[in-house]
Amino acid sequence: MLLIWTSILFPIVAAFAVAIGPTKSAKWTAFAGTLVSLGALTLFAWNFPAWHNAEHFPNTTGPSWIPHAGITFSVGFDTVSLLLALLSAFLMPLCIVGSFSSITERTKEYYGWFLVLGSSIILAFAARDAILFYIGYEFTLVPMTLIIAIYGGTERRVAAIKMFLYTFLGSMFMLATLLYIGWEHRLVVGAWDFDIDTLTKTATRLPSSTQYWVFAAFMVGFAVKVPLFPLHTWLPLAHDQAPTAGSVILASAMLKLGTYGNYRFALPMAPAGGADLMSFVAVLAIIAIIYASLICWVQTDAKKLIAYSSVAHLGLCMLGLFALNPVGAEGAVFYMVNHGLSTGALFLCIGMFYERYHTKDTDVVGGLAKRMPVWASFMVLFTLASIGLPGLNGFIGEFLCLGGTFIAEHDGQTGYPGVLGPWYAVVAGLGLIFAAMYLLILLGKIVWGPLREPHDDAAHATSAIRLPQDLCFREIAILTPLAVACIWLGFQPKPMLDAIAPCAERMLANYPKEVERYMSQSAGTPLASITGKANESRGE
């Protein structure tokens, strides 16, 4: 547990050191703080006793915080939360180093808030108390709002306020639902308790009609964070206006709190609601995939294009989760991690491009393979990873999400409440085709073709000093670990998939039971009619 708390609290200590220390050392203090946090999590992961065991969370005990309310400082990891925390901790030092050249004013505040942001994200993933999770989940808004509002583009304040209002109001639904389940637990045992496992047991015993509303409230809260159509409208502007490092953490870590919330709370706590509403959520996910892909197709702002592609990619992730079978769930979790790597890397590449040309318009700049071949090589690699090229990290997650959706129909064998099936997978697959098209078009404009630069007059063309140069050593050092991760996970996905599998099955444990309960209550319920052969297959 000491290592977990070190990873959470040391960035806060570093933030205080940044605040009281000299300005010139702020960036290095912040970098050291993120390295210590990453080192503590890596050491914990190296000795993690439950990579292939989802029956319990090691090291989850914690001191009581508010005894009368049953709130504790309980932290711990299963493999899914640990992988997402490692992803966040891995990206933080890269973002700090990536900000060295782009953030030149109010640097102490910037690095201080960035450290607080990293600490809040890890706390949310590590929390085993629901209120502690809410605190980490909600507190990420404060530093991210300030980072966008102070260091963003010309519309930064509008983007920051819009992001804050959307996500804050959405999280109120989540908090109200957690308090309601805690109250139900108090009615049964006479005491409050917000341990996540305890709340899960309490929620699954609620009547099916109540679970329906519990699930709906959770979905509203987490769908804003994913974001899922039609609650996605805050994201493109936030990405466009945020500084590069802010966009990286927003896409790679903060948005994963939404998908993780569905994995940790909505689906296991309200199986009746999840079973009833899975097709509705799947339709919203498919709309997000197609709608965002079509917008990307005509988008000329490179950063907005990557932002909308995140809406499409996380729509596919949600589709895999709501296939409600182990294949889709494993694919969704794997895709969470790998979307964070490839999309975060793309935002870093676009940021490096923007620092040189001060534009993100792909109609103005192009053919940069001639000017910046190293940058172009990284850009091609990460774009192909985002497309899902076999051999790179994006392929496995996409394949499993679509595969889980394809087989998510009732067969009387598994007992999972499958109501999706091939047609859902086919329509979602069109989004992947669109993704390949718009991302290859992006590469065609910005990397290949004739060299196009803003203000490309004769003086500029002959001045070697004024022309942007290729990546420096610092920038190559930032992108290389991400490139290695994308390639390694493309060729060696099995260790991560083996670690995810028990957690996916544990998350779905109540769904076969839910099928049986529906059938025992009424043969006329929607779920019973869908899975009418389940009891027969069990010999009942």
Half-sphere exposure of 534 (CA within 13 A, CB side): 24
Strand partners, 304: none
Task: Give the total residue count for the chain.
Answer: 540
Residue 444 within any structural domain of the chain? yes
Residue spans of beta strands (DSSP E) within 369-479: none
Say what the pLDDT of residue 48 is: 77
Q: State the sign of the Cα–Cα–Cα–Cα dihedral 532, 535, 538, 540.
A: negative
Token pair recorded at residue 286 = 């498919």
Q: Going by C-beta distance under 8 Å and a sequence separation of 6 or more, which residues neighbour residue 271?
A: 204, 211, 510, 511, 513, 514
Residue-number span of the structural domain to which 421 is assigned: 2-454+471-537
Q: In one letter, which amino acid is 183? A: W
| Total number of domains constituting the chain | 1
Q: Please list the ranges in the chain whose pLDDT falls under 50.
A: 54-56, 59, 456-467, 519, 522-540
Q: Which of 274, 397, 422 is nearest to 332 (CA)?
A: 397
Placement of tokens 């097709």 in the chain: 279
Residue 466 forms part of a structural domain = no
Residue 75 and residue 63: Cα distance in Å, rounded?
10
Q: What DSSP designation does 103 have?
A: -
Give every CB contact of residue 206 below 8 A, 6+ residues apart in sequence.
Answer: 181, 184, 214, 270
CB atoms within 10 A of CB 440: 14
Give the C-alpha separation, 191 to 78, whole Å. Answer: 27
Measured CA to CA, the distance from residue 396 to residue 335 in angstroms comes to 8
Q: What is the value of pTM for the model shown?
A: 0.87
CA distance 325 to 31: 41
For residue 362, the model assigns a pLDDT of 84
Q: Which amino acid is at 486?
A: C
SS3 522: coil
Q: Which tokens hold the place of 172?
A: 């109120």
Residue 464 located in a structural domain:
no
Cβ neighbours, 10 Å, residue 88: 27
The verdict on residue 462 lying in a domain is no
- Strand partners for 85: none
pLDDT at 62: 65
- pLDDT value of position 527: 42
- Burial class for 380, CB neighbours closer than 10 Å (0-12, 13-18, 19+): middle
Beta strands in 346-462 (DSSP E): none
Reading the block at residue 461, the tokens are: 């063309």
Asked, for residue 19, whether it belongs to a domain, the answer is yes
